[in-house]
Each structure stands twice: as structure tokens, then as C-alpha cells.
Structure 1
């Protein structure tokens, strides 16, 4: 999992022009201790990507979404997002990504996320915060 994360976030770091992305500093131990729930997507026996989230009541914050560069543009991120969007009892999801990470933003927007805020980090990264709320037509039952 760490290898997939490192490879994916190196691509994002290059894309947004900042080599100091916090996920690039993660270790196996820091990931294990994150308290996040992980969903994996496998191509055969290979981990092609994963999504990690934290849930608080009816809200899910997507903490990381990483796809191996060898599996880019093959629907891995969409499949993972679809899975987390099906979590029972959830009414709202939030995620943050680099403003210059246009492929990620397009993917989130395709799944109903909308941009709600942006901020500048101490590392000089402009982040976009996106949110999705469950619509009446999506409600189960």
C-alpha cells in the first residue's frame, strides 16, 4: 500500500509543483496508526489503488485516494469512490486535493462533489475542498 501511495503522490507532487506533500512522508507505521478505514481495488493480485476515510456520524472525510500510475485512467478511482459513496447512513462526504490536480477534481466532480473552499498551505500548496451531499434521489429506502 505504501508503494502505491508513494508512486501516486509523486505524480501529484509533480503536477502541483510541490515535492513536500505530507502523504510522501508517510511510513507503514503512520498509515497503520492513521485510524482510517481502507478500501482496496485489486487488478488480479496487484493492489491497483486504495481509498482511506474517516467516518463521524453521517459524514465521511476521504483522507487519501491513491491509484498506481500503471492503472491511471482505468476507472480505479471511480470504482473506489462509488464504493465509499454507498456506505450506509452517510449523508455527506468531503475531500481535499491540490487545485492543480485537475484529473482528481474532475473525478470527484463526476461523482457529484462540488467545490466549496480553497486555502493555501504553509508549503505553498493551493488546496480545494470538495463536498458531496446525499440528494433525495440517492437516498436509500
Structure 2
């Protein structure tokens, strides 16, 4: 399983992104008891038109997991991290996170996740993220913002 950049112009990859996202975020919805997570209502077109960079890991022909992010000069905002439930607890999320944590020149990474998504929070903490605030989304979902900073070498 290798990490590769996913193309938002490739319909097959878009369908796999959407399918993996829906399966993963359905699990999160159950964990946090909030079924109105915006990513559950996305379409192929809304993903195709987003400004995020997507990286993914395939197991044979199936997209096992992906991470999307927006990169500024020295900061990355992680927008989505989704692992298909068939591939939970196999290190997929950690491998994807490690890839973006090792992009040259980046000194800050930001992410948000559901406050009740303890597995995700623990994963981010394991990679050096710290909780910076708890907020409520416009949909009424409690989320946490997490941040990781490193000094320039």
C-alpha cells in the first residue's frame, strides 16, 4: 500500500473518495451522535470543486483511506481524514498524517474533529496535536480544534 495523490478530475477516484468518506463519516456520526455532518451530504461535484489536495492509500483496487488538506506558505489545514471501516486499526490514518507532517517548510498544522470522536482525537494527539478550543458548528455539532506547531530548524 503506497500513498499517492488523488485526482479530482478522475471520476473513478472521485467515486471512491465519496464512498470511503460516507462510510467513515457515518461511523463518526454514530460516535458523536450527530447525523448532520456536512461531509455526509457531499456529492461528487462538491468534492471535485473543492480546493483541497487529496492523498490516498489503496489496497488493491479499493481506496482504504485518504486525507485532504489546504496548504498555505507554512501551514497545513487538514480538511478530511477518512479511513474505510474495513481498514480501521491498520495504521492508515497515521501513515497519511505522517505524510503531511513531513512536508518541507510547514511549521503549523490545524484540524477539527467531532468532540466525541475519541479515536480521532487520540490519533491526532499521538502525532503531536494539542486541543486548542471546543466550539459548536452551525449545525449544532460540538467539535474540537487541534493544532500542532514546530520550530523552524
TM-score norm. by structure 2 comes to 0.87
1:2 aligns with 2:21: no
Q: 1:81 aligns to what?
A: 97
Gap runs ≥5 in structure 1: none
Post-superposition Cα deviations, 1:28-55, rounded to whole Å, max 9, x if no partner, equal 1101111100010111222100000001
**CA shift for structure 1 position 135:** 4.2
Gap runs ≥5 in structure 2: 1-16
In 1: Cα distance, 2:84 partner to 2:151 partner: 31
1:12 aligns with 2:24: no
Q: How does 1:1-141 map to 2 (within 5 A)?
A: 1-135=17-151, 139=153
TM-score norm. by structure 1 comes to 0.94
4+ aligned runs moved over 4 Å, structure 1: none
Count of aligned pairs: 137
In 2: Cα distance, 1:89 partner to 1:29 partner: 32
- Higher alpha-carbon deviation: 26-35 or 38-47: 38-47
